[in-house]
């Protein structure tokens, strides 16, 4: 067991060096959690990474990196020890001689490879795909991407960490010699939005919704307060409920199906052209400076104004924090279905009143003050 300085943390880390053979590869112990690397005594910088689940992946350290960067060579036994060791020697020699160069690959192809190789939940994978596509790199060669090509879009909420992870992966795959984000600073912390739409704005947005999948998604966002991706990925419509299988927290979620939602909810609701459709809806409705996620906040705020208890609102929103975190979340198993049904009924009743009146009349109606 040798000790080597860790350039990233400024302290020593342990490196296990063993004689890698087919016999030792088959008998390496599995870690209790995470991954453990074993380094070859014959070829410094070459080793195998063993996961908790039993996967064994050959890796090689890049000697040019300031911090330890383990590049994947391939998984054993799909690739043999002999071939992996030979490939490691080649990579190490090229890095030492300065002959390494970025492999040409189009950005669109690299993004697909990154998403397929990443160990992400399906919902997170969809979010990553949406963000990376918004970089609009298209068919540009990844090695030709410059910092200026990225700067304007890194301020999009959630974009910076996803783009940084993508280019770190691209560096490890030899698709770029230097990450275009190497000297970039993270954008200022994202300020949480507080926008709650008024009754008049909901009225105009509802009436401007087109009679297509996008229009139905927006109406269901108003009616149910769910997330955009969950509505567009709605898995089933039952007699008394909507069920969402693909949720942000990975837990199946059902909410009561109101009468108005029953009229709107028609599968399939898959949709991709969000930006164009949203821009067109803004123009048709005359409502600006709002996002589809603001409808979720409007739903929650409206229910609170109607007197619905916070824990019922959280259950409708499929929140695991707040009232349902900690010990309460472990032992409390009541589903609050009657209370959620009553909340949805009250919300639809108010929405029907708003939609049947003109915008000005709705705003002046004292019975609808909770919607303002």
Q: pLDDT for 251-267, tens place per residue?
A: 678 899 999 999 888 87
Q: Name the band, by pLDDT with cuts 50, 70 and 90, for residue 102.
A: low
CA angle 133/138/139 to nearest 5° reads: 150
DSSP state of 9: T
Out of 144-148, 164-168, 188-192, pick the least confident.
Answer: 188-192
Task: Return the CATH architecture of domain 2-97.
Answer: 2-Layer Sandwich (3.30)
Closest C-alpha among 180, 178, 181, 173 to residue 109: 173
Decide which of 102 and 309 is more confident. Answer: 309
DSSP 140-161: -BGGG--HHHHGGGTTSTTHHH
Whether the pLDDT of residue 297 is over 50: the answer is: yes
Question: What per-residue confidence (pLDDT) applies to 265?
Answer: 86
Choose between 70 and 17: higher pLDDT: 17
Contact 345, 171 (CB under 8 A): no
Q: What is the pLDDT of residues 25-77, one digit of tens each?
A: 998 999 888 889 899 988 988 999 999 888 899 988 866 554 456 778 888 98
- 167-207 tens-digit pLDDT: 999 988 888 888 898 888 887 665 667 899 999 999 999 99
User: How many Å apart are CA 311 and CA 325, to the nearest integer?
Assistant: 11
Does residue 331 have a pLDDT over 60?
no
Mean pLDDT within 346-369 = 63
Angle at which helix 337-356 crosses helix 213-224, to 10 degrees, equals 120
Query: In this structure, which CATH number among 1.10.150.120, 1.10.3720.10, 1.10.1740.110, 1.10.443.10 belongs to the domain 199-371?
Result: 1.10.443.10
pLDDT exceeds 70 at position 370: no
* Integer angstrom CA distances of residue 336 from 36, 128, 249: 45, 33, 19
E strands within 158-276?
236-237, 241-244, 253-256
CB atoms within 10 A of CB 33: 8
Question: CA 102, CA 100: separation in Å to the nearest integer?
Answer: 7
Q: Tell me the domain boundaries of the chain.
A: 2-97, 107-172, 199-371
Which of residues 368 and 194 earns the better pLDDT score? 194
**13, pLDDT greater than 80:** no
Q: In the prediction, which pLDDT does 371 show?
A: 43
What pTM was computed for the model? 0.51
CA distance 371 to 363: 8
The one-character DSSP state at 106 is: B
């Amino acid at each position: 067991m040798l000790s080597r300085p860790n350039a990233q943390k400024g302290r020593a880390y342990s490196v296990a060096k063993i004689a890698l053979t087919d016999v030792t590869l088959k008998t390496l112990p599995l870690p209790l959690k995470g991954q453990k690397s074993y380094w070859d005594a014959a070829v410094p910088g070459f080793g195998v990474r063993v996961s908790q689940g039993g996967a064994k992946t050959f890796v090689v350290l890049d000697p040019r990196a300031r911090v330890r960067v383990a590049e994947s060579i391939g998984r054993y036994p799909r690739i043999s020890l002999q071939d992996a060791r030979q490939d490691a020697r080649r990579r190490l020699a090229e890095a030492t001689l300065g002959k390494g160069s970025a492999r040409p690959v189009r950005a669109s192809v690299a993004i697909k490879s990154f998403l397929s190789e990443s160990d992400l939940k399906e919902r997170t994978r969809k979010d990553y795909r949406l963000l990376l596509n918004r970089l609009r790199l298209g068919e540009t060669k990844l090695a030709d991407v410059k910092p200026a090509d990225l700067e304007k879009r890194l301020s999009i909420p959630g974009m910076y960490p996803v783009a940084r992870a993508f280019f770190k992966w691209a560096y490890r795959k030899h698709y770029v010699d230097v990450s275009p984000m190497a000297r970039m600073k993270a954008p200022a912390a994202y300020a949480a939005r507080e926008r709650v739409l008024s009754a008049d704005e909901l009225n105009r947005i509802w009436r401007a919704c087109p009679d297509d999948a996008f229009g139905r998604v927006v109406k269901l966002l108003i009616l149910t307060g769910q997330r955009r991706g969950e509505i567009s990925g709605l898995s089933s419509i039952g007699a008394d409920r909507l069920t969402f299988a693909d949720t942000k927290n990975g837990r199946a979620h059902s909410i009561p199906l109101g009468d108005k939602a029953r009229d709107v909810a028609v599968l399939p609701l898959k949709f991709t052209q969000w930006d164009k459709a949203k821009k067109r809806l803004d123009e048709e409705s005359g409502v600006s400076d709002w996002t589809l996620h603001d409808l979720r906040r409007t739903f929650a705020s409206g229910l609170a104004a109607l007197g619905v208890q916070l824990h019922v609102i959280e259950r409708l929103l499929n929140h695991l924090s707040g009232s349902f975190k900690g010990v309460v979340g472990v032992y409390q198993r009541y589903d609050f279905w009657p209370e959620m049904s009553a909340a949805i009924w009250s919300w639809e009743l108010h929405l029907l009143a708003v939609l049947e009146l003109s915008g000005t009349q709705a705003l002046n109606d004292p019975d609808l003050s909770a919607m303002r």
